Amino acid sequence: MTTAPLHISLIAIPDAVLSTLSGIFDVLSSFGTLSALDDAVPSVSPFRVEIVGAREGPVDLASGLPIPTHRSIGDIAATDIVIVPSLLVPGERWQAGRYPALVEWLGAMHRQGTVLCSACSGLFLLAETGAFDDAPATVHWGYAAKFRKSFPAVPVTPERALVVTGDRQQLISSGASTSWHDLVLHLVARHAGPAAALAMAHFYALNWHRDGLAPYIVFTPPRDHGDAAILEAQNWLASHYSVASPAEEMVKRSRLAQRTFKRRFSKATGLAPVVYVQHLRVEEAKRQLERTKASIDEISWKVGYEDPAFFRRLFKRITGLTPGSYRRTFDLRVIAA
């Protein structure tokens, strides 16, 4: 008995990013082609992929380029998997309420048991349904603060490349940009087997971000918190992070009581002063590893750590990579060669 392929509805809205949408569509639609090259890929696709719009007709995406749709949501009473691709999200918050019919349809599909998937910032649209409330998820690190403001009920960890949750694993989110690779490989492995997923990874040079996304995250502390004393401390620290005991020096310069300063600093930035200093130092170390020939011990000293062993442990804890692995991955001199 032949099993009917799973119906995938790939959402196209004006906020969507073409590269993510087309990449997902191409990979998940390529079983027939790749099966002739690798027998690990089944010739009969487990998926039937459609690009779906809120209304009939082509959709002008965020880049201005139009993309045709196969059907509108009004023609789809049931679907197995929904994928919302990366979205461009300007402003301080997601502007909710612009796609009421689509959000209502997504909620109805979720209640019927449909698997909801987001690629990168596609989570913003899915979060409007409430389906991800209190469920762990991931989103592009550059949008994480904006997402938390827009949907505080959804706990996000942008360091993770893929989060699969729900009692039936029906809520799936992938993190920054090309971590849609992790999403499609997960779906292929889940419904066609790990060997097929590996074959597709080889053919398309898709990445499994096994080390997570922490190495890619740039530390960008909030500065719009409205606490002038803390902002002044942040500005001073930006160029004095390598001095001895910078956290204690910030307290002295603020003329605030130590407990008051620490409480206000943590509230404003989301990090304790010492942890904030560690992130600043590691961020500078990343830049030096990327752009200079300086040894790891020398970089450790330059950013404020006299103990290179401690620096190495701290760097690995924050980025997920050792300093040497980070340099091999992101050395600009090698990329430019």
Same domain, 176 and 40: yes
Q: pLDDT digit string (tens) for 102-138?
A: 999 999 999 999 999 999 999 999 999 999 999 999 9
CB 38 within 8 A of CB 18: no
Does 1 fall in a domain?
no
pLDDT reported for residue 1: 40
Distance CA 79, CA 64 (A): 28
Same domain, 186 and 283: no
Same domain, 58 and 204: yes
What are the respective helix, strand and coil percentages of the chain, to the nearest 5?
Answer: 50, 10, 40
Angle (CA) 239-286-236 rounded to 5° is 15
Q: pLDDT digit string (tens) for 157-198?
A: 999 999 999 999 999 999 998 999 999 999 999 999 999 999
Tokens of 38: 């690798």
User: By three-state DSSP, how is residue 207 classified?
Assistant: coil
pLDDT reported for residue 312: 97
User: By three-state DSSP, how is residue 123 classified?
Assistant: helix
Does 46 fall in a domain?
yes
Does 219 fall in a domain?
no
User: Own/partner pairs for 197-202, CB < 8 Å, 24+ apart?
Assistant: 198/40, 199/34, 199/38, 199/40, 199/41, 200/27, 200/30, 200/34, 200/41, 202/38
Does 105 fall in a domain?
yes
Same domain, 195 and 259: no
Does 33 fall in a domain?
yes
Of how many residues is the chain composed? Answer: 337
Q: pLDDT digit string (tens) for 236-253?
A: 999 999 999 999 999 999
pLDDT reported for residue 162: 95
What mean pLDDT do residues 79-89 have? 97
The CA–CA distances, whole Å, from 175 to 197, 216, 318 equal 19, 11, 17
Q: pLDDT digit string (tens) for 292-304?
A: 999 999 999 999 9
Same domain, 308 and 275: yes
Q: Could you give the number of structural domains in the chain? A: 2
Distance CA 312, CA 322 (A): 6
Q: What is the CATH number of the domain that holds 308?
A: 1.10.10.60
What mean pLDDT do residues 307-311 have? 96
Whole-prediction pTM: 0.87
What mean pLDDT do residues 261-281 have? 95
Same domain, 169 and 308: no
